[in-house]
């Protein structure tokens, strides 16, 4: 099956994935107004003192003023990445369904420079590139395995087996897609955990792109988040 | 203390309250696209068949496609109304704080025609208007009580007592204000419980206004909600 | 790798899965007391009238009294089942991690009688058994595909590739395990969707077992849920 | 009206309030087992190394292992305290209802040593005792105001006004009661904000009692929370 079209305005991630900001209702002003309602004040525009207020709120973990906004992302990523993403419960997901729709044959294969080994002890693992030769072999092995799985899937479907069963042989490298709607507070929690050293490199790449889109829409909030040591309020 | 300014674009509710839609990221199309991601399809505009899809989703309690949107309301209402509102946990609130800001002297007094008695047995109460004379007396009693409470509050503040303590004598008829951000799924749950016979009349009034603003932005979703017997998915 | 031990007290589901109730703080009385706090009443034991109260609460969608209890389950199931389970956000999950721990070689293969085809039109699919011969072939195909995937995984690990990358070739038929903690309200929502005709048969099997364990601990609540048409409050 | 009975096993807080742990499903072992499922390990008892694991999880903000437990509290406190409490959305509440049940005449009056003034500038307020004479006067003023409000409430009820309207004149010093069910993760968030300097002294008192009950049931988790600077994971 052919790869689905890449929607306009999407940013490529990994070999067959993307992130696209579908819509947003987000501004630094929304944070300020939510906080100022404590004093029954409401503004039409940001003022110079408000940057300080945003920083104060973040450092003191006043989280609710960061919830009055919304980002809707359209994402395409491997299943194993989505499985980490969906742990973030204070947000909304709708995902591609392989129960009823036929899967396509896109699978994630790490680039040569991403083919890595795990070194160190439990609790403090790190990752280092493997030898180029091994990287090549591993890529070839993965590609072969994924293709074989897809061929089995294909044969099972052709023979009349229900898609919801045939899909069980597909690897977690298979690409899926979903809509994700999230507010800035929950988004910063996501970024603190996923755009971070301890995150698996693949979700890390997505989180970097997400962070860029967040920073564009809420620059003062983003700057305050970075200054506060990337801890979500 | 003087009443706070009423923000532009707000709709009056009760004697000193209002509802204002501060911002929204909401359309029926967002529901359709969230649902269609199951089939890896994405649209720029609604098509005729999509109305049927929205109804299908609602009736079958597929709730998540209704979460990819956001409404931010600015509300002014009595404390006893806010106490019912805040039970709706899948949404975000920031409220006026009487710990640090001086309360004003607006209090809810039911209009003559809203002064009511409770009739019937536990589990099936209903409400009927009281005699006009009693309604008048009751209004006068309430007004006097609320004024006296505010006068005490005022004296305590003037004497140097902390606002967070002085406020304890203020009645739950006192007006508060807050920002409320909520998605359509959680909003429909709110409407099913609060724009309903069993709801207290005062929050009912707010819910009617909220429902009107929701219907304007997501008319097909609203129509489907009504058709489905006002049950949230 | 060998299959992990099956914990004592667990109920087998599918070919290599189980459900085990690890602990619970749950009784019908907890529902009654939570509801009766509205009237400042508290009981040590259920009384005859309380069964009616539970039914009343359920039918009228008073959901919060059903939240003051907790069930902790330990579950082993295929990844594709877990991916449906984790959609239930108002609950808590901790899952086996293939980033750091070596996967074992258990994979779900449908029993002969579960090998099925999908019939009907979109929106109203149903499932029927396939011919015994096809069922046999399909099982053999799946088994072969899963074994081949695991062999690739094994070789990649032995060659030094990080587990978090090698796992990407493993199919969603692979077994995972997790702890799931949930209250009765959220649990009834799970049961209404997963112990249901529209659910995929595999998660349906798990939901049946979960429902049995729920019914044992909260028999009156369970009976009321069934009477109310299996709609969660 | 007379004060309601104080349930057995409750700990008095403020002048007419209490906290009672109604039930719990909670142990440090639940944290360890939830975390160890990542490695497919399960224990019957804590081992010496597990204390270190709990500390590691807390410091690194791995929050989910702390969610597999449950505390059910029965609380009686003034309305203005409950209004802060209910902000904690990741937990469950059922509250006494003044719509249908007659309120009693218990109101919070600060003790002499708690009658305080607010000093300092916005953003860094602190509180100091007022002169004993003022404290006496303030207490008398509050008592008088609350009694007058209750007398109005009483007269309105006697005259036939619905309870849901008559209650509007009652002050936020009025006592209410509720059941609160919460897991350790959400509970630590509550403690980090409410058993803290910045919290209002009245909810602070409740949070101290709650923290004691939490520490008894999950001593290692509590110790790790304190060591980690009282930041919830």
pLDDT band at D2 (very low <50, low <70, confident <90, very high): very low
Q: Are residues A92 and A168 in the same domain?
A: no
Tell me B87's DSSP state. T
Q: Are residues D2 and D81 in the same domain?
A: yes
User: Domain boundary residue among C130, C153, C172?
Assistant: C172
Q: Please give, rounded to a whole number of angstroms, the shortest distance from the CA of A171 to a CA of chain B.
A: 19
Contact at CB, D181 and C97, closer than 8 angstroms: no
pLDDT score, position B1: 44
Q: Are residues D22 and D42 in the same domain?
A: yes
D78-104: pLDDT as tens digits: 999 999 999 999 999 999 999 889 999
Q: Are residues C117 and C222 in the same domain?
A: no
pLDDT band at D5 (very low <50, low <70, confident <90, very high): low
pLDDT at residue A1 is higher than 60: no
Residue with tokens 């968030």: D189
CA A232 to chain centre: 16
Q: Are residues D118 and D137 in the same domain?
A: yes
Give the residue-averaged pLDDT of C226-233. Answer: 93
User: Domain boundary residue among A121, A137, A172?
Assistant: A172
Low-confidence ranges of chain B (pLDDT < 70): 1-5, 123
User: Domain boundary residue among B149, B172, B195?
Assistant: B172
Q: Which of D22, D40, D65 sits opposite C96 (nearest CB)?
A: D40
Contact at CB, A193 and D123, closer than 8 angstroms: no
Q: Are residues D82 and D153 in the same domain?
A: no
Contacts for D70 with CB less than 8 Å, ≥ 6 apart: C25, C69, C70, C181, C183, D24, D25, D26, D181, D182, D183
Q: Which of D24, D92, D95 sits opposite C67 (nearest CB)?
A: D92
Tell me B183's DSSP state. -
pLDDT at residue D143 is higher than 70: yes
- Smallest CA-to-CA distance from C7 within D48, C97, C17, C201 is with C17
C89 CB neighbour count, 10 Å cutoff: 18
pLDDT score, position D1: 44
The pTM assigned to this predicted structure is 0.96
- What residues form DSSP beta bridges with C71? C24, C182
Q: Are residues B103 and B115 in the same domain?
A: no
Helix (H, G, I), strand (E, B) or coil at A233: coil
pLDDT band at A8 (very low <50, low <70, confident <90, very high): confident
pLDDT band at D3 (very low <50, low <70, confident <90, very high): low
CA torsion sign for C157, C160, C163, C167 is: negative
Helix (H) or strand (E) segment spanning residue D79:
helix D79-85
Q: Which residues of C touch B185 (CB under 8 A)?
A: none
Cα separation, D201 vs C89, whole angstroms: 34
Q: Which residues of D touch B164 (CB under 8 A)?
A: 118, 200
Q: Are residues D94 and D180 in the same domain?
A: yes
Report whether D108 contacts D205 (CB < 8 A): no
What is the CATH number for A85? 3.30.1360.170
pLDDT score, position B33: 94
A96-127: pLDDT as tens digits: 999 889 999 999 999 999 999 999 887 678 99
Report whether C30 contacts D72 (CB < 8 A): yes
DSSP per-residue string spanning A47-70 = -HHHHHHHHHHHHTT--GGGGS-E
Q: Are residues B11 and B126 in the same domain?
A: no
pLDDT score, position A2: 46
Helix (H, G, I), strand (E, B) or coil at A22: strand
Helix (H, G, I), strand (E, B) or coil at C16: coil
Q: Are residues D22 and D123 in the same domain?
A: no
pLDDT score, position B148: 98
Give the residue-averaged pLDDT of C59-81. Answer: 96
pLDDT score, position B48: 84
Give the residue-averaged pLDDT of A26-43. Answer: 88
Contact at CB, C72 and D74, closer than 8 angstroms: no
ipTM above 0.85, yes or no: yes
CA torsion sign for C43, C49, C55, C58 is: negative
pLDDT band at D39 (very low <50, low <70, confident <90, very high): confident
Cα separation, D34 vs D41, whole angstroms: 9
Higher per-residue pLDDT: D49 or C222: C222
pLDDT at residue C156 is higher than 80: yes
A54-73: pLDDT as tens digits: 999 999 889 999 999 999 99
Contact at CB, D160 and B89, closer than 8 angstroms: no
- What residues form DSSP beta bridges with C177? C76
Give the residue-averaged pLDDT of D153-174. Answer: 98
Q: Are residues D118 and D93 in the same domain?
A: no
Boundaries of domain holding B160: 109-172
The sheet carrying C17-25 orders its strands as: C11-13, C17-25, C70-78, C175-182, C92-95
pLDDT score, position B113: 97
Q: Are residues A98 and A202 in the same domain?
A: yes
Strand B17-25, strand B11-13: pairing: antiparallel
C106-154: pLDDT as tens digits: 999 999 999 999 998 876 789 999 999 999 999 999 999 999 999 999 9
Indicate the number of domains in chain A. Answer: 2
Angle between helices C219-227 and C184-194 (to 10 degrees): 40
Instruction: Enumerate residues 71 to 130 of chain D having a beta carbon within 8 A of any beta carbon in chain B.
Output: 78-80, 83, 86-87, 89-90, 93, 99-100, 107-108, 110, 114-118, 122, 125, 127, 130
């Amino acid at each position: 099956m052919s790869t689905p079209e890449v929607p306009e305005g999407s940013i490529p991630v990994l070999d067959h994935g993307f992130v696209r900001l579908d819509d947003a209702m987000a501004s630094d002003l929304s944070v300020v107004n939510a906080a100022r309602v404590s004093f029954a004040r409401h503004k039409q525009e940001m003022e110079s003192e408000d940057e300080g207020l945003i920083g104060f709120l973040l450092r003191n973990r006043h989280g609710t003023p960061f919830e009055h906004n919304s980002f809707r992302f359209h994402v395409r990523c491997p299943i194993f990445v989505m499985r980490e993403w969906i742990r973030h419960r204070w947000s909304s997901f709708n995902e591609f369904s392989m129960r009823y729709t036929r899967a396509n044959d896109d699978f994630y294969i790490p680039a040569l420079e991403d083919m890595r080994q795990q070194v160190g002890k439990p609790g403090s693992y790190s990752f280092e590139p493997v030898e180029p030769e091994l990287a090549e072999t591993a890529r070839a092995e993965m590609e072969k395995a994924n293709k074989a799985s897809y061929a089995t899937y294909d044969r099972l479907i052709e023979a009349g087996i229900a898609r919801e069963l045939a899909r069980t042989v597909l690897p977690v490298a298979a690409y899926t897609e979903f809509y994700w709607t999230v507010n800035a507070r929950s988004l910063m929690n996501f970024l603190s955990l996923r755009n971070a050293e301890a995150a698996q490199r693949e979700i890390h790449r997505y989180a970097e792109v997400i962070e860029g889109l967040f920073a564009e829409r809420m620059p003062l909030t983003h700057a305050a988040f970075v200054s506060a040591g990337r801890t979500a309020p």
